[in-house]
Homo-oligomer: A and B are copies of this chain.
Amino acid sequence: MTRWRLTIEFDGGPFMGWQRQDHGPSVQQTLEEAVERMVHERAVFTAAGRTDAGVHALAMTAHVDIERDLTPHRLREGLNALVRPQPISVLEVQEAPDDWHARFSCIQRRYLYRILNRRAPPALEAGKLWHVPVALDVEAMQEGASMLIGRHDFTTFRSVHCQSDSPVKTLDRLDVTRNGEEIHIQAAARSFLHHQVRSMVGCLGLVGRGQWRPEDMGKALEARDRASLGLNAPPHGLYFVEAVYP
């Protein structure tokens, strides 16, 4: 038995999310079916994070245990051939120690949220970013974002379906920058609550539009109440960028 560590890119559009679901296709199920066809084993993939339906990954990290002897090259090439035409690509495969765990060994998760901030809708990247047609004030968004940095009770930014033991998390980074017509929001933390990034970005969108002042971000946080939440940004602008390990 070998524990394999994989780095995986996927377009979240056709999936119900990373995790297996009864009601639709998932990235996990697609990969597990590919392994079953390849080596006739029912292996289970575990990822660093469970992404929502529609959320993309530039480089998700996952692990899987496989009995059959394989080389990293053969596992990657086999999976990439067998997941076609689904938009999943295994970028890297390496052997990992038996006690290495994609979820529990991870010390930081990094996300990118992409906003297309122009009047005209996206043509080339439809489904790959959040289209906000009114001009957003990036400085105000950055000022609002800075109020969430650090260790806080993030109940306001938590989904009712969140399974985390505690709403207290430490947000290491929440940066808002303009790149031409795009606004990029980069978030990093050891772990996030369910919907936390999309909830924070949704509120930053209100700040950018001038409907909230930057300090309203801090007030929403202090309220510790879902009713104080502005709105969730849509999933298709969100990318899982990196899982960091010691």
Contact = CB atoms under 8 A, between A and B. Distances in A.
Contact of A124 (B10, B120, B122, B124): B10
Contacts of A90: 120
A9 B123 contact: yes
Interface string A173-202: 000000000000000000000000000000
A45 to B, nearest CB: 16
A107 interface: no
A10 B119 contact: no
A122 B120 CA distance: 27
A148 B90 CA distance: 37
Interface centre among A87, A91, A121 (most CB of B within 10 A): A121
A211 to B, nearest CB: 22
B87 A119 contact: no
Contacts of A66: none
A123 B76 contact: no
A88 B121 CA distance: 9
B119 A76 contact: yes
Bin chain A's interface residue count. 20 to 34
B11 A58 contact: no
A44 interface: no
A80 interface: yes
A5 to B, nearest CB: 15
A9 B123 CA distance: 6
A120 B91 CA distance: 5
A156 interface: no
Contacts of A118: 91
A67 to B, nearest CB: 24
A76 B119 CA distance: 10
Interface in A1-44: 9-11
Interface in A81-130: 87-92, 118-124, 126, 128
Nearest to A8: B123
Nearest to A118: B91
Given A56-B124, A89-B120, 18 more contacts: A9-B120, A9-B122, A9-B124, A10-B123, A10-B124, A11-B124, A76-B120, A87-B123, A87-B124, A87-B126, A88-B123, A89-B121, A89-B122, A89-B123, A91-B118, A91-B120, A92-B120, A124-B128
